[in-house]
Amino acid sequence: MSDSTPGTEPAIRYWDDVVVGETLAGFSIHLDWTAMALQVHGSQDWNQIHHDPDFARDSGHAGIFYNTGWTAGLLGRTLTDWAGVYGWVCKLSFQMRGMNMHDDTVSTRGAVTKKYIDKDGRHLVEVEVWLENDRVGKTTPASAIVQLPRASS
Residue-wise pLDDT tens digits, 67-124 = 888 999 999 999 999 999 999 999 999 999 999 999 999 999 999 999 999 999 999 9
Domain 18-29+68-147 fold is Thiol Ester Dehydrase; Chain A (3.10.129)
- Give the other-Cβ count within 10 Å of 71's Cβ: 20
- The domain locations on the chain are 18-29+68-147
What is the structure's pLDDT at 111? 98
16 DSSP assignment: G
Please state the pTM of the whole predicted model. Answer: 0.86
Strands 23-24 and 88-94: unpaired
CB half-sphere exposure, 75, CA atoms < 13 A: 28
**Contacts of 40-46 spanning 24+ positions with Cβ under 8 A:** 40/67, 42/69, 42/70, 43/67, 43/69, 43/70, 45/69
Percent of the chain topping pLDDT 90: 65
Nearest to 97 by CA among 57, 142, 148: 142
